[in-house]
Amino acid sequence: MIIPAEFPQLQALAWNRDAARPIPAEEAFALYERNWRFVDQTRLTAREKQLIQSLAAEFGHGVLLVAG
């Protein structure tokens, strides 16, 4: 389980829910993938970058599918 409030860009993506409520890792991965265009990549912390890499490895076969 991942707490969106602990990751600034994920918290922004989860604007319509309680960011302090843990969400499943697969749901966090889906939020990043679906909403990547809203992620300010220049503001990603090292910890959040690591989270995204870990999620991509686990749920995306090492790939984060983003339109761009």
Q: How far is it, in rounded angstroms, from Cα 51 to Cα 28?
A: 10
Give the model confidence (pLDDT) of 9-55 as tens digits: 999 999 999 999 999 999 999 999 999 999 999 999 999 999 999 99
Residue 42 DSSP code: G
Whole-number pLDDT of residue 67: 57
Q: Is the pLDDT of residue 63 over 80?
A: no
Q: How far is it, in rounded angstroms, from Cα 26 to Cα 30?
A: 6
Q: What are the domain boundaries of the chain? A: 4-59
Q: Which residue shows structure tokens 């339109």?
A: 67
